Amino acid sequence: MSVTLDKWSDDEIDSMVEVGGNSQANAIYEAFLPEGYRKPHPDSAQEERQKFIKSKYELQEFLEPSLRIVSNHPSDAGKQASNSHSASSKSEIGMVEFIGILNVKVIGGTKLAIRDMSSSDPYVVLTLGQQKAQTSVIKGNLNPVWNEELKLSVPQKYGPLKLQVLDHDMVSKDDLMGEAEIDLQPMINAAASFGDPELLGDIQIGRWLKSGDNALTADSAVMVTGGKVKQEVTLKLQHTESGEVTVEMEWMALNI
Angle between helices 74-82 and 46-53 (to 10 degrees): 130
Q: How many CB atoms lie within 10 A of CB 10?
A: 7
17 vs 146, higher pLDDT:
146
Given a cut of 70, is residue 70 above it in pLDDT?
A: no
Residue 169 domain flag: yes
* 8 A C-beta contact, residue 81 and residue 57: yes
3-state secondary structure of 204: strand
Start-to-end CA span in the chain (Å): 27
Residue 2 domain flag: no
Q: How much is the average pLDDT of 107-123?
A: 96
Residue 14 domain flag: yes
- pLDDT tens digit sequence for 179-203: 999 999 999 999 999 989 999 999 9
Residue 67 domain flag: no
3-state secondary structure of 86: coil
Q: Which domain holds residue 33?
A: 10-58
Counting the structural domains of the chain, the total is: 2
Given a cut of 80, is residue 162 above it in pLDDT?
A: yes
Residue 190 domain flag: yes
Lowest mean pLDDT segment, chosen from 60-69, 145-154, 165-174: 60-69
* 8 A C-beta contact, residue 227 and residue 200: yes
- 130 and 240 fall within a common domain: yes
Given a cut of 70, is residue 76 above it in pLDDT?
A: no
Q: Which long-range contacts (CB under 8 A, 24 or more apart) does 87-92 make?
A: 87/12, 87/15, 87/16, 87/19, 87/25, 88/9, 88/11, 88/12, 88/15, 89/11, 89/12, 89/14, 89/15, 89/18, 89/156, 90/11
- pLDDT tens digit sequence for 246-255: 999 999 998 6
Residue 75 domain flag: no
Given a cut of 50, is residue 177 above it in pLDDT?
A: yes
What's the pTM value of the predicted model, to 2 decimals?
0.64
Residue 70 domain flag: no
- 230 and 147 fall within a common domain: yes
- 135 and 237 fall within a common domain: yes
- 38 and 104 fall within a common domain: no
